[in-house]
Amino acid sequence: MAKGGFRGMPGGVNQAAMMRQVQKMQQDMLRMQEELENKTYTATAGGGMVTATANGKHEIVALEIKPEAVDPDDVEMLQDMVIAAVNEALRAADSDSASNMSKLTGGLNLGGLF
């Protein structure tokens, strides 16, 4: 190593400034993750017969089924509506998370690092 240590990175990039920027990005990511975990995402299926609400942790926090959706002769239809509503709520949570992460990283693909 040269006497006096590194004076900077090639191209004039200041290593200390880059580290501050990385630390700020990490703090912003943690804050954003907390916000997303506390948000809720609601979706419906069957023309509003089934409503599912998920949070950013991918937990179902509410499930509403209108009485007229319950047909003892067609339980399979109700099951399909529940699955559709739950999956759509989870997709909404994923989409919001990806959108916010893209804003934070400036569109960089970090390959699942965060």
pLDDT exceeding 70 applies to what percent of the chain?
Answer: 80
Mean pLDDT of the 67-74 span: 94
Strand partners, 45: 50
Whether the model pTM is above 0.85: no
Burial class of 104 by CB neighbour count within 10 A (0 to 12, 13 to 18, 19+): middle
The SS3 call for residue 92 is helix
Residue 31: CB atoms within 10 A of its CB come to 11
d(CA 59, CA 111): 24
Q: Which has the closest alpha carbon to 25: 103, 96, 80, 93?
A: 103
Instruction: Answer yes or no: is pLDDT of 11 > 90.
Output: no
The residue written with tokens 């007229």 in the block is 68
Q: 43 in helix, strand or coil? A: strand
What's the topology of domain 15-105? Ybab; Chain: A; (3.30.1310)
How does strand 50-55 pair with strand 60-65? antiparallel
Q: What is the rounded CA–CA span in Å between residue 55 and residue 97?
A: 11
Task: Please report the pLDDT score of residue 14 as a whole number.
Answer: 85
